[in-house]
Structure 1
Amino acid sequence: MYKTVILYKTPMHTVSLSEFRANASAMLDRVEQGETVRILRHGKPVAELVPVQPAAPEKLPSWKRPIHPLEYQRADGKSLAQLIMDERESARY
């Protein structure tokens, strides 16, 4: 009945807004390495940059899922690509 939740503790780096503006690229590098960056304005936290968690494939919308080519084999052993090439070669034009 109870759901187990596992929280992962990541290192956190706290910076002021002016420091973040001056070193935005370095802060993003820290986030890429797995750290969380907390941004302060006038000493109060206003934002946190956290690493992106990859979504599970079943939670991705259908238009973002990878497309796998259709594998269709005819009884005579020819692929659909071969049938198209044969049709083009035998065309009258």
Structure 2
Amino acid sequence: MRTISFTEFRNNASLLLSAVEKGEMVIVMRHGKPIAKIVPADKVEEGEKPLKKPALRLVIKGRNLSSAILEEREK
């Protein structure tokens, strides 16, 4: 586990995220207080909700969505 300042994170984000990809955990501190814990995606703790929700998929049988939209606009 590595502890770094916010400024160090901001200046070296790409390198730090590469280290996280390899399995390292990084704690980001601001004014001596922890503000973030960055862990590899496969190590997200049980029970945490993902930040992104699955996108809504619109499907119309027999034709693609863009043709259906264009047809609807012509009406």
Whether TM exceeds 0.5 here: the answer is yes
Quote how far apart the aligned CAs of 1:41 are: 0.3
Unaligned runs of 5+ in 2: 44-53, 55-75
RMSD: 1.6
Provide the aligned length of Structure 1 versus Structure 2: 44
TM-score by length of 1: 0.45
Alpha-carbon displacement from aligned partner over 1:9-49 (angstroms, at most 9, x marks no partner): xxx11100000000000110110000000000001101010
Matched, 1:40 2:8: no
Structure whose CA Rg is larger: 1
Question: Aligned equivalents of 2:42 and 2:25: distance in 1?
Answer: 12
Q: TM-score, normalised by structure 2?
A: 0.55
Which of 5, 10, 27 lines up with 2:16 in the alignment?
27
Q: Deviations over 1:25-82 (max 9, x none)?
A: 011011000000000000110101000117xxxxxxxx8xxxxxxxxxxxxxxxxxxx
How much identity, in percent, do the aligned residues show? 52
Choose from 18, 28, 32 the match for 2:7: 18
